[in-house]
Structure 1
């Protein structure tokens, strides 16, 4: 913009084109120039203007009515800005206008009726705004209209019949609204339409039988998530250029027309969750015709009514197929060996059918990451060839009739996160190779079988596992001490076996455990006291064993409804609600010698004196400070233990500090386990409340991507001052902040996060938010999501921490998202959602905004408070501009590495150290760079969507998790293909 000065004639200014006949400004093209501010009313003085292009900037405010004075205007492009308010009705004066493009802004209200006069319109694109009202029927009068996009708004009502008059229409995009009714039949007669998307509405009716004949140019035909019924039109085979045919989640009936096999360009064919098929043999015969669809990557037929056997010609489907879903039908018999030809499958869903035999050829599907075989009638042994599926992360085989032993070869599936073989007829012992799969982090469930032998000691390797279910087998021996190292366990289910011995003391290390069930075994001895100190324990079943002695009264034992002791006739005491007999003291008197009695009396006297001293001290202390007691923290570590753990809070053990206080590295007494100790600065206003809020939030939640609290300390220091601290698991790789912005830290400066690591971390954080918002009982809003509050463990798995500002949300009717304990400005500058600044209540949508900003920061390397973000430019606008201009590689973090260990893309430096190829470097091949750019753009679009100013337009966190998984999986598929090509 340097040319915009008085020394240069304005007709020679950058972006300005003048009419040569009168030197008046004719075109103003300032696309992608980083401009800010509002459009001034004086724009109306450029009365000879024919083209105005301001897309991909940071303009805001309302559009001036003076735009209506531009009577010669033909093209108006304001896409990817932050304009708000209503569409100016005075645009009706611009009767020569051909294109109005104002997508991706924050416009509100209805489409003005005055615009009915714009009869020369060719393009009307108003998608991704906040428009309301109905679609104006007068749009049907725009006989030259070629493209219309009203997607992702809040438009309701029906699609006007008048649209059938748009004889030149090619691009028809209305998805993501609240439209209802049926699609006017006349629209299906507009033969020029090539893109047709009405997905995610409430439309109903049948698809016209001749739609493929009347719309022969179709490339995209999408109407998923509606209420369409009737058969799939056979005539679609006439649309030879069709690439996407997706009508999932409707009520379609009949079968898949065989003629679709002639669609050689088809990439996605998705009819999941309909009512297709007749529960009859031969329902899947259409698969033989799909062999001609050589570009097919996605075939979705799950949750329909297909019956019969899976035909052998499934082997002829495209080898490009990556996703095949056939679950939830009535398919039976054996699975053809030819399925082994689909070597690029990453997801195979066969669950909920009546299949009987698992073929050995499954071992050829080495790209599989998800294999769903549960709820069938599979019998015989589990094929050992499944051990070849080394990329598997999810294997579900429950509710079948498998027999024989568990193949030790499954131990080769080193990426398994979830394994379920429950409710089968398996016998033999549990292979050490399987129970020592350290990758298992979600669940290992082999319950309800006939397994024998002891629980292997190697179970202790599962230190990331959340659920272990070995119940309803014939396991014997003692509960192994090594279970105490499974510190991530939330559920431990060992009931209905023949286990003996006592409950091992090592289980006291399971600080996050929520449910323990050891009922119906042969366990004996006294109930361990440490069970009363497991503050997270919510359910404990010890029934039908041979336990004896007094039942504890504290912790979970104080809640009679949370525990079960039935069938243990030697127990006594406990809280009155348990209705157990009182413990006898006769035996105690008999065995005590006189000397012991004297010793006990002396000890009792000393204890009484100590308690008196403590009572007097607390009375003095309470007179100084009135504070809510934290009942749960009374069972935590003592001040002296923390002093010893940190070597006197030595500076050498200081790992972080801030306004809240400081964090020290220490060692958990008796376990030699590293811990992080957050010592609160009680001089800081609100620090004490933060202590209680964070503890109460964290003690009630458990998730593998949340920082696990071990215990707390609420005491006094050596000087008699109040002392409060929280004790967490130690995260060896520090905070995400250090990795993104290392500063002068040499350790982090020499180690860069790769693209795949960032994707995995983003998925971890989103999964944690999904749990907090939807899966932990009362929803919790974190309120301070930022890189410094995301910590990384040994395996670079992210854990969200620092819940000092967290708020619980209590549901109330349909307004649950707005009901909180308190509202106000919560969070850190740059990550606080704009509605909080306007006094809005705290909500889960605020966390989604913070996540969006964090996501953009992770992939651009720029924080939201970076010096470059001023004068209206924000990290969101900065990213939006680059996305719209397809310049995503220009804004990506220059230190992001793309690492592929099996590909020789790195170069050796003089020291022989392999250097990672940088994203922007020339080393990357064109196709590889293109895939990386596609991946980055997809992630950044999620970040932009999550951080939009209007809360209701932010992407749902569950959709975020699914989309991030899809992006990562797609990228991994590409990498694997590259590896195969190299080989």
Structure 2
């Protein structure tokens, strides 16, 4: 035994002696290693610098040989080794790629490049950084796959690549990262299943996999992460139930599985097993059963979102124990029984003294609003009761909720008169009372709503005069008091509210008298509806200043006189209804020149003379002239008697220019060549005699205020930009005509396929109905437009904000390539100032178009590139849904954004435009081996599951871009990368499934 023991000791002695000799040898050699190693680090850093393509803050200027690289900005070295240990360049506005040579910085322990614009793939050579503990690439544009070689970085504790464009599955090699504490892969394009081996990361405290394309079930192995605090899986395609072991991770405080396909019931003891829960989001799934009463045991709970499921029962009374509760979203379920007492729980919620948001909308709550509503938290800002079965009066105690910003009571059975105390809610911005049974007058205290922007009271039984005090609401963007019993005249204080920009609807009442001249103050208004009242007199000429007007409804009144010539100034009009009035005289010819006009109803008046045949009058399906027995002429389809012809004296004025070829090319700017019109001029199709080239000629209407300035600004912007997806300007002309008047024009490249609007919303005739955009065509156009915006926002010498992005301003060439242009109604390329102190507030010419205007513009916010992103988001939704954002279905608080949100992802195919899948030739149908979804039971309509996945991704981008808060919108460069990734994924999967 002693011999054996001594032998063992000797072996150990020899072993450690050998180690000691090797260490000594290493120390002797180390005298020559640092210089070589340091040079390796320096060269690797210089290679990194050379890959930087954009550096607006001049960060890389410090990376030069005048100082040691350890003192370069963002570089930290070890105190003795002088080897690079930390590379920290967070939020430096850098753009570029990471070179493979980063793998030579072998002493790196920390890399932090978050909040920049790095792109390309994450190099596999990162796997050589064996000391790496922290890798944060959050919010960039990296593509490709997650490097499998990261598995060699066994010391890694933080891996964060959220907000990038990574694709593919999570590599199984990463299962070796046993020390991982933070894993953030959110907001990418990752696919496949969530790996079960993540459950082996015993040190993990944060797991973020949200907003990817993960499918399948949630692995039960994740229940082994006993130290997990942050658990985020929302916005995927996960199905099945939540494994019970996960509900037993008592350390979790952030739990989000919203927007998936999960089902089952929430466990009754969830509040006991997750006592540290602070945030719980499980909305927009398929959960059923009651709301667990045990949630009251999670005493730290602040945000609870369970909306958009199939939950039943009521709100548990004991949730009142959650004194820190800030938000409770429970809308879109099956809560309530439609009976008295359904809302008794409100009296208990009074104990939740931090509550700011309470959403009970779209449920089955019945009974009356209890008086205990007065005891709810005075911190309450958003209170939603819309679309329930609530009856009775509004309790007077509601006046105690002095911090309310939104009160939604629409679509119930509420009645009685409105209490004056509502006027105490002076912070209200949105008030929805429509579709109830309210009666009596509008309280004069409504004049206290100086912060109000949205007021809807339609479809009730209100009566009396419209109170003058509403004129105090000088931030109002939307006012709807239609379908009530209001009498008296229209107060000039209300009709003159210049803040109104979305809609003013007073239709279907009993209003009398003339339309006040103050209507001319509505210079930003898009929608004016005064129809079906008892108004009289002539239309005031001041209406001509309402340059943003797109919808004008005056039918069913007693207006008289001629249709005013002043309306010709309203080039943006899309719908006009003047029917059932007493208008007389001729039909003005300018109506045929309003190129945006889609519907004109002048029936049942006393009009006479010749009906024009140009413009909208050429299509009988778009006009209605019945009940005017003195009309003649017009197109043959009208079957009117022939007019008696006279020899009219021609008063057409021909313009002279240094550019005389413009006259010849457009036949003297004849009406037959008119193809478009905008706020500051008209556009004509022309053929140049020199080379036969077809062009578009925009002639400025210099009588219009601001036209000359717009010409100068437009020239300044267009002369410095060149891009495949921007409309090409060929030339400009500034001259004097034969009468000595100024003449200005711009000559553009002609787009033979017209505007995107004509393809998305074809007219009701055979010629236009044949226009259909396929799915891939829409995807290509969306990418083209994104490229155009990226160029305007990031690659011009001075950033340019378009300010009026919409389908009519996107033109298509012979190859269906999209070009963002200025042929639309209010299009103007705005040059953003380099002076950050200069307020970039909106002017009339930059206002944009209703439906596409970002909310901050309507409230006087500054013009920014994020405003264009909002318009792009709305455009995306419109392109793939096929509905305009101002479609009749979007009303009473429902927008195209909310509509899309409510349907994703489960019901996405219920909202898409089926015409993009409609094919006449069977050879055009994709040969997919995947599951086929049939739309509208038409055998010619085929949609593969891969198209469905692409559509969901497109809609998610549209929703991200069109968020109300500018700070939450997706940056332009990220939009381009995301849209490209979607298209690439689609094309690759299509190619894969095509037969060889």
Considering the TM-score relative to the shorter chain, is it more than 0.5? yes
Deviations 1:758-786 (A, max 9, x none): 556567545544565555999899xxxxx
How far, CA to CA, are the matches of 1:650 and 1:940 in structure 2? 35
Tell me what 2:226 maps to.
167
How far, CA to CA, are the matches of 2:518 and 2:447 in structure 1? 19
How far, CA to CA, are the matches of 2:736 and 2:453 in structure 1? 33
Q: 1:277 to 1:666 in 2, by over 3 A?
A: farther
* Counterpart contact for 2:100–2:124, Cα < 8 Å: no
Tell me what 1:330 maps to.
389
Q: Secondary structure at the match of 2:437?
A: coil
Tell me what 2:405 maps to.
346
Matched, 1:224 2:283: yes
Matched, 1:549 2:612: no
Q: 1:163 to 1:14 in 2, by over 3 A?
A: closer
Matched, 1:737 2:832: yes
Matched, 1:632 2:691: no
Matched, 1:53 2:111: yes
How far, CA to CA, are the matches of 2:374 and 2:834 in structure 1? 47
Q: Secondary structure at the match of 1:228?
A: strand
Tell me what 2:313 maps to.
254
Tell me what 2:783 maps to.
none
How far, CA to CA, are the matches of 1:399 and 1:27 in structure 2? 68
How far, CA to CA, are the matches of 1:167 and 1:640 in structure 2? 68
How far, CA to CA, are the matches of 2:866 and 2:437 in structure 1? 34
Q: Which runs of 5+ in 2 are unaligned?
A: 1-44, 46-61, 655-659, 685-696, 720-728, 763-801, 810-820, 844-855, 885-911, 920-950, 984-996
Q: CA deviation at 1:584?
A: 5.7
Matched, 1:38 2:133: no
Deviations 1:237-268 (A, max 9, x none): 10111111112222221111111111111111
* Counterpart contact for 1:653–1:666, Cα < 8 Å: no
Tell me what 2:14 maps to.
none
* Counterpart contact for 2:78–2:85, Cα < 8 Å: yes
* Counterpart contact for 1:199–1:223, Cα < 8 Å: yes
* Counterpart contact for 2:84–2:105, Cα < 8 Å: no
| Alignment equivalent of 2:974, drawn from 926, 944, 947 | 947
How far, CA to CA, are the matches of 1:559 and 1:780 in structure 2? 22
Q: CA deviation at 1:455?
A: 2.1
How far, CA to CA, are the matches of 1:488 and 1:948 in structure 2? 29
| Alignment equivalent of 1:689, drawn from 728, 750, 759 | 750
Deviations 1:849-893 (A, max 9, x none): 9999999xxxxxxxxxxxxxxxxxxxxxxxxxxxxxxxxxxxxxx
> What RMSD in Å do the two structures reach over aligned CA positions?
5.3
* Counterpart contact for 1:396–1:420, Cα < 8 Å: yes
Tell me what 2:359 maps to.
300
Matched, 1:384 2:487: no
Q: Secondary structure at the match of 2:613?
A: coil
Which deviates further from its counterpart, 467-476 or 358-367?
467-476
Which deviates further from its counterpart, 503-512 or 465-474?
503-512
Tell me what 1:813 maps to.
916
Q: Counterparts in 2 of 1:394-433, with a 5 A limit?
A: 394-433=454-493
How far, CA to CA, are the matches of 1:618 and 1:739 in structure 2? 39
Q: CA deviation at 1:497?
A: 1.9
| Alignment equivalent of 1:679, drawn from 718, 727, 745 | 745
Q: CA deviation at 1:160?
A: 0.7
Q: CA deviation at 1:308?
A: 0.9
Q: Counterparts in 2 of 1:208-223, with a 5 A limit?
A: 208-223=267-282
Q: Counterparts in 2 of 1:496-515, with a 5 A limit?
A: 496-515=556-575
Q: Counterparts in 2 of 1:55-454, with a 5 A limit?
A: 55-56=113-114, 61-69=120-128, 74-356=133-415, 357-454=417-514
How far, CA to CA, are the matches of 1:641 and 1:623 in structure 2? 11
How far, CA to CA, are the matches of 1:287 and 1:646 in structure 2? 57
Q: CA deviation at 1:229?
A: 1.6
| Alignment equivalent of 2:547, drawn from 484, 487, 491 | 487
| Alignment equivalent of 1:706, drawn from 773, 791, 804 | 804
Q: Counterparts in 2 of 1:712-723, with a 5 A limit?
A: none
How far, CA to CA, are the matches of 2:192 and 2:161 in structure 1? 17
Q: Counterparts in 2 of 1:921-940, with a 5 A limit?
A: 939-940=966-967
How far, CA to CA, are the matches of 1:127 and 1:689 in structure 2? 44
Q: 1:939 to 1:60 in 2, by over 3 A?
A: same
How far, CA to CA, are the matches of 1:3 and 1:435 in structure 2? 63
How far, CA to CA, are the matches of 2:104 and 2:488 in structure 1? 84
Tell me what 2:10 maps to.
none
TM-score by length of 1: 0.67
Tell me what 1:906 maps to.
none
Q: Secondary structure at the match of 2:916?
A: coil
Deviations 1:774-804 (A, max 9, x none): 55999899xxxxxxxxxxxxxxxxxxxxxxx
TM-score by length of 2: 0.66
Tell me what 1:455 maps to.
515
* Counterpart contact for 2:332–2:361, Cα < 8 Å: yes
The number of residues matched between the two structures is: 762
Q: 1:386 to 1:780 in 2, by over 3 A?
A: closer
* Counterpart contact for 2:167–2:189, Cα < 8 Å: yes
Q: Which runs of 5+ in 1 are unaligned?
A: 589-599, 612-616, 712-723, 782-808, 817-842, 856-934, 957-983
Deviations 1:128-168 (A, max 9, x none): 33321110112223333322111222222110121222222
How far, CA to CA, are the matches of 2:386 and 2:742 in structure 1? 46
How far, CA to CA, are the matches of 2:827 and 2:144 in structure 1? 49
Q: CA deviation at 1:688?
A: 3.5
* Counterpart contact for 1:155–1:178, Cα < 8 Å: yes
Q: 1:478 to 1:58 in 2, by over 3 A?
A: closer
Q: 1:259 to 1:518 in 2, by over 3 A?
A: same
Q: 1:776 to 1:330 in 2, by over 3 A?
A: same
Deviations 1:825-866 (A, max 9, x none): xxxxxxxxxxxxxxxxxx9999999999999xxxxxxxxxxx
Deviations 1:667-700 (A, max 9, x none): 9999xxxx998622x5xxxx33279968998999
Q: Secondary structure at the match of 1:501?
A: strand
Which deviates further from its counterpart, 343-352 or 30-39?
30-39
Q: Secondary structure at the match of 1:947?
A: helix
How far, CA to CA, are the matches of 1:619 and 1:26 in structure 2? 66
How far, CA to CA, are the matches of 1:331 and 1:725 in structure 2? 50
* Counterpart contact for 1:59–1:82, Cα < 8 Å: yes
How far, CA to CA, are the matches of 1:103 and 1:443 in structure 2? 40
Deviations 1:173-198 (A, max 9, x none): 11222212211112101111111111
How far, CA to CA, are the matches of 1:852 and 1:305 in structure 2? 31
How far, CA to CA, are the matches of 2:806 and 2:156 in structure 1? 60
Tell me what 2:537 maps to.
477
Q: Counterparts in 2 of 1:791-806, with a 5 A limit?
A: none
Deviations 1:464-505 (A, max 9, x none): 221211111122233333333323221221212233333223
Deviations 1:421-441 (A, max 9, x none): 111111122222211112112
Q: 1:569 to 1:387 in 2, by over 3 A?
A: same
How far, CA to CA, are the matches of 1:706 and 1:500 in structure 2? 36
Q: CA deviation at 1:540?
A: 1.6
Tell me what 1:968 maps to.
none
| Alignment equivalent of 1:521, drawn from 577, 581, 601 | 581
* Counterpart contact for 1:399–1:423, Cα < 8 Å: yes
Which deviates further from its counterpart, 55-64 or 344-353?
55-64
How far, CA to CA, are the matches of 1:668 and 1:353 in structure 2? 64
